[in-house]
Amino acid sequence: MRINKIIAVLLIGIVSVMLLAACRSAANPTPSNTITDIVWRWESVTDQSTNVKTVVPDPKNYTITFNTDGTFEGKADCNNISGTYTQTNGFSITVGPSTLAYCGDTSMDQQYISLLNSIAAGGPDGAGGFALETAGGAQRMEFSNGGAAK
């Protein structure tokens, strides 16, 4: 009988600790620095040498979604893009197969693809967005969170 009471007290203690830990996690969630499984929308690019910022007219047409397996897919205006990325020794992107439609004279599709192929650094910006930079920080691309990838 005494052993049953000891076991019951131990079980209550274990369950209490587990419940407290769960409550603490829900009240103080750990911020996520992940970039995967999010549709990132290209908002702007800044030329750091001239400090000229170009705003992307329609960010939903210029997206990138990083997958956990090191691949990505996205849109470059009227074209679909895909490829690989790595965060080893900086950040690099290799644009692979993509459609090659002409999107019009005002499209930024070729600039977007060229910049992606030149990326040397990147990551979350600390404010819920994401940034990518070419070598030496010459060009800085800024992205907003467009929601979870489907």
Question: Are 104 and 62 in a shared domain?
Answer: yes
Q: Check: CB of residue 40 under 8 Å from CB of residue 123.
A: no
Residues 137 and 92 in one domain: yes
Domain ranges, residue 77:
38-148
Q: Are residues 83 and 13 in the same domain?
A: no
- The pLDDT value recorded for residue 129 is 94
Does 142 share its domain with 74? yes
Bigger pLDDT: 3 vs 71: 71
Is 132 in contact with 110 (CB distance < 8 Å)?
no
The predicted-structure confidence for 47-104, as pLDDT tens digits, reads as follows 999 999 999 999 999 999 999 999 999 999 999 999 999 999 899 999 998 999 999 9
Return the higher-pLDDT residue of 12 and 56. 56
Q: How far apart are CA 81 and CA 70, in angstroms?
A: 14
The answer on 53 and 115 residing in a single domain is yes
Nearest Cα neighbor of 84 from 59, 56, 117, 51 is 117
Confidence band, pLDDT 50/70/90 cuts, at residue 26: very low
One domain, residues 43 and 6: no
Residue 121 contacts by C-beta under 8 Å, 6 or more apart in sequence? 90, 91, 132, 133, 137
Q: How many domains does the chain have?
A: 2
